[in-house]
Structure 1
Amino acid sequence: MELFSISVNTRTDGEKEAFYRILSDKQKELHKQCRQLKFSFSASRDRVIWTCSGKLPLTAWTSSAEMVRRLVSEAAAAYILEEKEQDIAARLLLSEFEFNDNEESERVLQWFLMLLAKDDNPSGDYSQQRRRKLKDSIFVCLSESPDLNLDGFMTFRMQSYEQELREMAEYAVDEFMLDQQYEEFVSLLKYFVYFQEPLMPLVHVVHKGGEDFLLLDGSLRPIEKMRDEGLVMERLDQDMEFEDMVVSTLISVSPARMIIHTREPDLPVIVTLAHIFDNRAEVCISCPECSPFLGSLANDDLTFPAKRDYNN
């Protein structure tokens, strides 16, 4: 006797293969729990169906009907998350948020999908929460009816799962806008530096690790922050963070040439400094000036040139 079926419309052979693979893996676990169950796959054009049959009464099963529904719900949820989530996320984002143009919406969408992919691991809290809410909703549907149409379910019955996606979409939009504002401000600083007359011939920026920076003049003497006025400096001072303090001081002294000494040249703060000061800046990972502060670097550790130009 047929006990339940899971069906879905597929657009590609890849989706069909994923449906078969994911649900076949769950079949093995179901067989261990209840050997009386029989499974079969069938397809009609683009529609694929997974069917489970077994003997009644349920009291004769080695596992409860609830356990079987739980395992089936896990399989259906795994398929939706792997094959359908990106489409659902794109539809939700584009229908509920307004963007200036298609280019901006595409960039935010890619940002959103990147966050989903980054969170999609066994230890990801948001991923586990979405998976749990999806499984619970499918379980309720299977308790009400043994035949589950995933297309109908995705349209009408997964509000709690979509709410999780919606909250992540809101976070993605906020983060994207903050990132855009940051990029615009960095561009403003770069423009400001470009037209600023140099006040010091050389500045050494020694990055000792983390947020520990040392600013030295050409004679390797510490530099005190110089006050400067203007819109750019006011904005830096309004919401001062550590990175802003370093940038603010460097803009105040306006070096004609700046050498950033660091053992971590790919850190965002280093890349940002090099980008703001453009062709005035170069990055050094080992030289006589920085070795007393940062220690010597073995030749085997030099995986790239001792001085790096970020502008070429």
Structure 2
Amino acid sequence: MELFSVSAGIRNEDDKKAFHRIMTDKQKELHKQCKQLKFMFSASDDRVMWTCSGKVPLSTWTASADTLRRLTAEAITAYIMEEKEQEIAARLMFSEFEFDDEDEAGRILQWFLMLLQKNEGPSCEFMMSRRRRLSDGIYQCLNEVPELNLDGFLTFRLQPYEQELREMAEYAVDEFMLDQQYEEFVSLLKYFVYFQEPKMPLVHVIHKGEEDFLLLDGNLRPIERPRDDGLVMERLDQEMEIEDMVVSTLIAVSPARMIIHTRQPELPVIVTLAHIFDNRAEVCCSCPECSALLGNGRMMT
């Protein structure tokens, strides 16, 4: 007795192999749940089919029909997310957003696709939600009919899943644009510092951890930010955040030489500071000031 079948259009031999590989891997779990199941693959030049059959009566099975449908939905979901999702995502992004610059559009797409594969933070939550949307939709289809045409499903039954992708695309575009704006502004600050005359011979930047900084002059006395009404300083105050008050003060005092004392030199804020002040800056992890103010030992993350 045929229980269900899943068919999909293929464009080349690689598509066929991917379908076979993923479904073969997933059917092992199905077979563990119910040893009475039998699976068969068939393929033509442009289509592949995966069929599951089993002996009746169902009451003799070691797993319920509902469990089998759930596991089958998970298997098909794995195939879509591995082999189809990036193509669907790219189509959706270019249909939802307009880009004036082709190169920028390509970079945003790569950023978007990278986020889709990322398995931590907000990206992980999006991935789990997308997987659940797909699996639930496929399970519902298998409840309605035992023959699932994957191409038809991808065309007509993807609305909840595509909404998840749409939200992820919006997030990716926003994050990319913010990152670009930040990079451009950091470059502007670097340019400004390059032409700025030094006002102090030496400044020690003590990074105590996270967003906690202490600024000291050459005699290890605390530095207060001088008043400055310049346009760059005004924009800096408007556009940057907590650690940026450190950047703002450093630009205002304009040190000829700056030593950044830190136990975490790889942190983005440390890298940004060193980049803005370029050859005026050096990063130190083990000088006497470091030992006195940060303690002994090098904490690397």
TM-score normalised by the chain length of structure 1: 0.89
Q: Secondary structure at the match of 1:273?
A: helix
SS of corresponding position for 2:225: coil
Which segments of 5 or more consecutive residues in structure 2 lack a partner in the other structure?
none
Aligned length: 299
- Is 1:81 the counterpart of 2:48? The answer is no
1:266 and 2:271 aligned: no
Contact 1:119 1:126 in 2 (8 A): no
The SS at the match of 1:91 is helix
Distance 1:66 1:296, change over 3 A: closer
Deviation at 1:60, TM superposition (A): 5.0
Q: Deviations over 1:114-161 (max 9, x none)?
A: 21111379x932211111110111112222222212122111111111
1:43 match: 43
Query: SS where residue 197 of structure 1 aligns?
Result: coil
SS in structure 1 at match of 2:256 = coil
Bigger mean CA deviation after superposition, 62-71 or 162-171: 62-71
CA-atom RMSD in angstroms: 2.1
User: 2:164 is matched with which residue?
Assistant: 164
Pairs within 5 Å for 1:110-129: 110-119=110-119, 124-129=124-129
Q: Does 1:134 align with 2:112?
A: no
Correspondence for 2:219 = 219
- Whether contact under 8 Å (1:40, 1:51) holds in the other structure is yes
The equivalent of 1:309 in structure 2 is none
| Superposed CA offset, 1:8-64 (max 9, x none) | 123344433332222223322222333332111111124221111223454554433
Q: What is the distance in 1 between the residues matched to 2:258 and 2:212?
A: 17
Match of 1:182 in 2: 182
Q: Give per-residue Cα distances to partners, 1:275-311, cap 9 Å, x unaligned.
A: 111111111111123221122347xx89xxxxxxxxx
In 1, the alpha carbon distance for the partners of 2:239 and 2:207 equals 22
1:209 aligns with 2:173: no
Structure 1 residue 95 displacement after superposition: 1.4
Percent identity between matched residues is 74
One-letter code of the match for 2:175? Answer: E
Contact map agreement 1:120 1:127 (CA 8 A) in 2 = no
Quick one: distance in 2 between partners of 1:11 and 1:216? Answer: 65
| 1:92 paired residue number | 92
Bigger drift between 17-26 and 153-162 goes to 17-26
What is the distance in 2 between the residues matched to 1:36 and 1:246? Answer: 68
Q: Secondary structure at the match of 2:283?
A: strand
Partner of residue 194, structure 1: 194
Gaps of 5+ in 1: 303-312
CA shift, 1:248, in A, is 0.7
Distance 1:246 1:103 in 2: 34
